[in-house]
């Protein structure tokens, strides 16, 4: 039995102080991009909690890497396809932090941002229960009200950490409006063997791995 909503707090695996120290830089650069309004719109995908909610909620993306193949969501962890974009150079200090994350190789790397902090419709990223994307979601400040939602009960939990990995299939995730610039970063790839050794991958239903890991932590904390 896996309990939702939940997320795996990854702050122990990331240099949070270094991340927080980058907040001014990120805020400055992203504010400039808001003014230019030239980045691609963020698309939630088709798996919305509320079918009437917008799939293009208004946020935008900076692609720090780009696939050599036509756009395909299922390529995001095909690390051989992705190469850095010119924007990666603009965000060089962020790329330096990404280089310290526990990946053997990286694939898609994006910054998701919204100058006016609009809500992001609750959605699942895909519906393949056996497909577990290895990614780290992280941020330099805690202003984006990002949450997980259990479809069975409607219960929500707000992410309180700087870095997280979460089940994107068996629960929904989204953001409430913040009223000001909000942003987060997501790096997909292949975790390092050392990092993987921490993860209780299940024999089936692999997409639940981050939830099972989060639950194992909760069990230790309460025992």
Selected range binding Fe ion among 86-94, 117-125, 148-156, 215-223, rule: CB under 5 A: 117-125
Question: Minimal distance in Å, beta carbon 86 to Fe ion?
Answer: 25
- For residue 158, the surrounding DSSP H or E stretch is strand 156-158
**DSSP-assigned beta bridge partners for residue 114:** 182
Selected range binding Fe ion among 7-15, 58-66, 118-126, 181-189, rule: CB under 5 A: 118-126
Give 9 or 168: the residue with its C-beta nearer to Fe ion: 168
**How far apart are alpha carbons 116 and 65 in whole angstroms?**
25
Which position's Cβ is nearest Fe ion? Answer: 125
User: Counting contacts by CB under 5 A, is residue 77 touching Fe ion?
Assistant: no
Give 87 or 125: the residue with its C-beta nearer to Fe ion: 125
Question: Minimal distance in Å, beta carbon 42 to Fe ion?
Answer: 9
**How far apart are alpha carbons 187 and 110 in whole angstroms?**
7
Give 39 or 167: the residue with its C-beta nearer to Fe ion: 167
User: Counting contacts by CB under 5 A, is residue 167 touching Fe ion?
Assistant: no
Give 77 or 125: the residue with its C-beta nearer to Fe ion: 125
Selected range binding Fe ion among 2-10, 17-25, 120-128, 192-200, rule: CB under 5 A: 120-128
User: Counting contacts by CB under 5 A, is residue 125 touching Fe ion?
Assistant: yes
CA angle 162, 168, 46 (to 5 degrees): 125
Give buried/exposed letters for 138-175 (b at 16+ CB in 10 A, else e). Answer: bbbbebbbbbbbbeeeeebbebebbbbbbbbbbbbbbb
Question: Minimal distance in Å, beta carbon 49 to Fe ion?
Answer: 12
**What number of chain residues touch Fe ion (CB under 5 A)?**
1
End-to-end CA distance of the chain: 18
Two tokens at 133? Answer: 């994307």
Q: Which residues contact 140 (CB under 8 A, 6 or more apart)?
A: 19, 20, 22, 23, 26, 27, 162
> Residues interacting with Fe ion, by CB under 5 A?
125
């Amino acid at each position: 039995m896996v309990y939702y909503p939940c997320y795996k707090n990854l702050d122990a695996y990331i240099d949070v102080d270094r991340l927080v120290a980058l907040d001014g830089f990120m805020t400055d650069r992203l504010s400039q991009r808001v003014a230019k309004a030239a980045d691609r719109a963020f698309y939630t995908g088709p798996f919305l909690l509320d079918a009437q909610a917008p799939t293009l909620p208004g946020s935008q993306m900076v692609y720090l890497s780009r696939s050599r193949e036509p756009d395909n969501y299922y390529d995001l962890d095909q690390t051989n396809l992705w190469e850095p974009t010119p924007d990666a150079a603009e965000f060089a200090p962020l790329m330096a932090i990404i280089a310290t994350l526990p990946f053997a190789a990286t694939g898609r790397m994006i910054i998701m941002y919204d100058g006016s902090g609009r809500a992001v419709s609750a959605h699942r990223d895909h519906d393949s229960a056996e497909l577990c994307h290895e990614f780290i979601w992280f941020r330099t400040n805690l202003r984006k009200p990002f949450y997980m939602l259990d479809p069975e009960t409607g219960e929500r939990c707000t992410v309180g950490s700087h870095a997280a990995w979460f089940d994107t299939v068996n629960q929904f995730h989204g953001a409430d409006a913040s009223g000001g610039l909000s942003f987060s970063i997501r790096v997909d790839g292949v975790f390092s063997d050392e990092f993987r050794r921490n993860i209780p991958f299940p024999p089936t239903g692999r997409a639940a791995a981050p939830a099972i890991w989060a639950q194992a932590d909760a069990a230790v904390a309460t025992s």
